Amino acid sequence: MTNKKEDIFNFPCEYPIKVFGENQPDFEKTVCHIVEIHTGKLHANQITIKYSSKDKYISLTVRILATNRQQLDSINQDLQSCPLVSYIL
């Protein structure tokens, strides 16, 4: 039995990307820009923002329509390379 990574998802599919970092002025703009490079323009209803109890950290959930595994890998790689991003789920 073969089990390719593509078999896990039925593309295209909705896919949430959760990104955490320190609450910096450009965090949301930078993360959205990175995702938009791979998906096209995001709409406000695709983005959920949560702040830590003391507003030191921010969590951004971006819901995209993922078209293939390569797209997800590219987004993940670009977000990992961003100095504002602490970690990604």
Tell me: the pLDDT tens digits for 10-20?
A: 999 999 999 99
**Of 1 and 4, which is predicted with more confidence?**
4
Residue 32, pLDDT score: 98
Please name the residue that has the structure tokens 């819901």. 63
Model confidence at 5, pLDDT cuts 50, 70, 90, reads: low
pLDDT digits (tens, 9 = 90+) for 19-61: 999 999 999 999 999 999 999 999 999 999 999 999 999 999 9
Residue 4, pLDDT score: 57
Residue 26, pLDDT score: 96
